[in-house]
Amino acid sequence: MRPYKQPFGNIFYRRMQNEHPLIVRGDGVYLFDAEGKRYLDGSGGAIVVGIGHGVKSIADAISAQASQAAYLHGSMFTSKVLEEYAEALGKITPLPDPKFYFLTSGSEAIEAAIKLARQIHLERGENSRSITISRWMSYHGMTLGALAVSGKEKLRAPYLPMFKDMPHIPPAYCYRCPFGLEKNICQVACAEALEEEILRQGPENVSAFLAEPISGNTLGGAVPPAEYWPRIREICDQYGLLLIADEVMTGMGRTGTGFAIEHWKVTPDIITIGKGAASGYFPLSIVAVKGEYVALIAGGSGNFNHGGTFSHHAVGAAAGLATLNYIKDLNLFERAADLGNVVHKQLLEKFDNHQVVGDIRGRGMLWGVEFVQDKTTKQPFDPQIHFSQKVVDEAFKRGLILYPGSGSINGVAGDHFMFAPPYIITENQIQESMEIILDSIDSSIGS
């Protein structure tokens, strides 16, 4: 069977020049195509799949709910499974009295969170607060509102005339500090930049600060300094901003805790949840918010001024609840933390001294490896080489799925890949992955 490839057939593919093998089955960390080839899913797709492929209990839960009542409009009805899922989520979400608004994509969750922050200020009578500050080299989604707060230039550039841009501050990117400072003696200038931007915009005009607790693919799993998030929380409190933690990628155990922000013992006001919530079995995203803010809206205007045809979806809730139960039954948050240490050790052993590896960073089951042409100067590869894509393509040929990244330095230069497999991966499968990665890097050098 010929692999599907644009322009054959009627599918509009995102990457039109690529072949798209026809997958017929998934089992654990593996996917199998129609030709019988096996792929070890070393990135959970787009860093989505945490529990593995082919879990029957999730499929059964989806089927059962779909056969009972698949669609119930969220402004008219509730469902038992939605109520049960919200209660279960409330027990693991690090917010006081959390309330949950259910949607279907990360971009939707970001849009809803930004709008929710604005409405909270309106309910307080702070009508001028409309600005959301975010960070450069971030990714928050592809809708226009999400692009306005995203910080990856090449994704934003074609659409800049179409949205109201929001201010950005430099990221917490210690390997290439935007301020040219050394870690541990930098006085977290990347956090202090938030106060400077708030004062530049006028505190009375700023609604929220939005950021990923640990960077996603745009910065390849960059982890902020220990002081970063506590200082960010202080600044938000000082100037009356809401703190939005974008956990679409890092939430639901990906970094070894339920939510990545918990590593810093910081409580945000709003959390966006996505990829891992249903582990790819259903397109599910969630906005979690402190209960006091929902009470404020309920006692004021009475409604959240936001909607969605597929919000509060019963089948999505069934998928999410079954996923959460599976995670609990197998202690997968703890497993992600423990195996994350194994991944880190093996990455260091294999690649710390490799001639083209500049940095290894991440936590839990979210790891980034940045490539450089010169380790001493940190000079990146020529962007025209597309080095990270070469490595990922070589790994794909060898049956390993990785997630490529580029443009981490100035939106153009910089290469890295992400290794973020399902939490059920074994130590032997991690070792197998490392061998393939090493072979793929070596094959890409000079090619």
pLDDT in tens, the chain (447 residues): 455 555 567 888 888 778 889 999 999 999 999 999 999 999 999 999 999 999 999 999 999 999 999 999 999 999 999 999 999 999 999 999 999 999 999 999 999 999 999 999 999 999 999 999 999 999 999 999 999 999 999 999 999 999 999 999 999 999 999 999 988 889 999 999 999 999 999 999 999 999 999 999 999 999 999 999 999 999 999 999 999 999 999 999 999 999 999 999 999 999 999 999 999 999 999 999 999 999 999 999 999 999 899 999 999 999 999 999 999 999 999 999 999 999 999 999 999 999 999 999 999 999 999 999 999 999 999 999 999 999 999 999 999 999 999 998 878 899 999 999 999 999 999 999 999 999 999 999 976
Beta bridge partners of 99: 289
Question: Domain coordinates of the chain in residue numbers?
Answer: 23-55+331-444, 57-329
User: For the stretch 100-138, what's the b/e string if a residue is b when 16 or more beta carbons lie within 10 angstroms of its beta carbon?
Assistant: bbbbbbbbbbbbbbbbbbbbbbbeeeeeebbbbbbbbbb
Listing from the earlier edge strand, what are the strands of the sheet with 415-419? 357-363, 366-371, 415-419, 403-406
For CA atoms 59, 60, 63, 69, the dihedral sign is negative
- What is the distance between the alpha carbons of residues 128 and 38, in angstroms, rounded to a whole number? 55
- What is the distance between the alpha carbons of residues 269 and 116, in angstroms, rounded to a whole number? 11
Task: Indicate the angle between helix axes 332-351 and 314-329, nearest 10 degrees.
Answer: 70
Question: How many CB atoms neighbour CB 6 within 10 A?
Answer: 15
For CA atoms 123, 126, 128, 129, the dihedral sign is negative
Q: Which of 274, 275, 294 is nearest to 286 (CA)?
A: 274
- What is the distance between the alpha carbons of residues 403 and 211, in angstroms, rounded to a whole number? 21
- What is the distance between the alpha carbons of residues 422 and 178, in angstroms, rounded to a whole number? 32
Question: How many CB atoms neighbour CB 354 within 10 A?
Answer: 16
- What is the distance between the alpha carbons of residues 429 and 28, in angstroms, rounded to a whole number? 11
- What is the distance between the alpha carbons of residues 396 and 393, in angstroms, rounded to a whole number? 5
Sequence-distant (≥ 6) Cβ neighbours of residue 227 within 8 angstroms: 188, 191
Please answer whether residues 40 and 399 qualify as being in contact, where contact means their C-beta atoms are separated by less than 8 angstroms. yes
Helix (H) or strand (E) holding 126: none
- What is the distance between the alpha carbons of residues 44 and 53, in angstroms, rounded to a whole number? 9
pLDDT on residue 1: 46
Please answer whether residues 49 and 282 qualify as being in contact, where contact means their C-beta atoms are separated by less than 8 angstroms. no
Residue tagged 């400072």 (tokens): 181
Whether the ω angle into residue 7 lies within 30 degrees of 0, i.e. cis, is yes
Tokens standing for residue 84: 């049960």
- What is the distance between the alpha carbons of residues 35 and 155, in angstroms, rounded to a whole number? 35
Q: Which CATH class is domain 57-329?
A: alpha beta
- What is the distance between the alpha carbons of residues 317 and 323, in angstroms, rounded to a whole number? 10
Fold category of 23-55+331-444 in CATH: Aspartate Aminotransferase, domain 1 (3.90.1150)
For CA atoms 78, 82, 88, 90, the dihedral sign is negative
Q: What is the DSSP letter of 53?
A: B
- What is the distance between the alpha carbons of residues 164 and 145, in angstroms, rounded to a whole number? 8
pTM above 0.85, yes or no: yes
As a whole number of Å, the CA-based R_g of the chain is 22
